[in-house]
Structure 1
Amino acid sequence: MTYEPSELPIVEPGTLLRLNPDDWSFGRDLAPGSPVDVVVAWLRTDLAHLSDEWLWTHGHRPQCGYPDIDPHPPCMELRVNVAALRRIAQTP
C-alpha cells in the first residue's frame, strides 16, 4: 500500500513533534532509542511512495533558536512513523 497525498496527515510547519523512541528512525546525529523533539519545517510527501509507514521530516531542534535568533536551513532530518504523525495531527 502506498499513500496518496490526500491520505497523508497534515502537519503544519512550526508544529512541535514530541516523538517517542518508536515514533522515529534514521535521524542524523540522534541517539537511537531515545525520545526526540522536532519543530517541523516540512514533510517529504514527495517520497511517500517509497514507504507505507514512514515519512522523512525536516525541521529544527526546539532549542536551536530558529527563526527568531538564528534563521537557517533545517538542522534535523529524520524518518517519522506515519501513525505517529496522524496521532499528533489529530491532537488539538
Structure 2
Amino acid sequence: MTQCMTAAPNYSTAATKSPTTQPSKTVIDKQSWVWNHFDKSIEPGFSICQVTLKRGCVCGTKMKWEKSSSTKNHHSHLEKNHHLADPKFL
C-alpha cells in the first residue's frame, strides 16, 4: 500500500493542518473559486492543492502562482484531477 501525505509539502502550517473535505481555510487574497482549494506555499511563487483524496490524503500538487497571472492552470488541475468546477456555472 502506498503511503500518502496528511499535509502538502512546503506548506507553511503542514505540521498542524489535518486533511479535510472542506475548502481550504487559508484563502489567498484572490476572488477566484480555485483559492478555496489552494494554499500559498512557503516557497515564493507557488501554491499547493489542498483537496482531500478518497483515502484521506491531501493532493499536495505544487503549482506555479504569480499575483499577476491567471488561474487557468489551477482550474484545469481541479477539473481534470478532482472533477471540481466553478460553482457559479453548476
Structure showing greater relative contact order (alpha-carbon pairs closer than 8 Å, 6 or more residues apart): 1
TM-score where L is the length of structure 2:
0.30
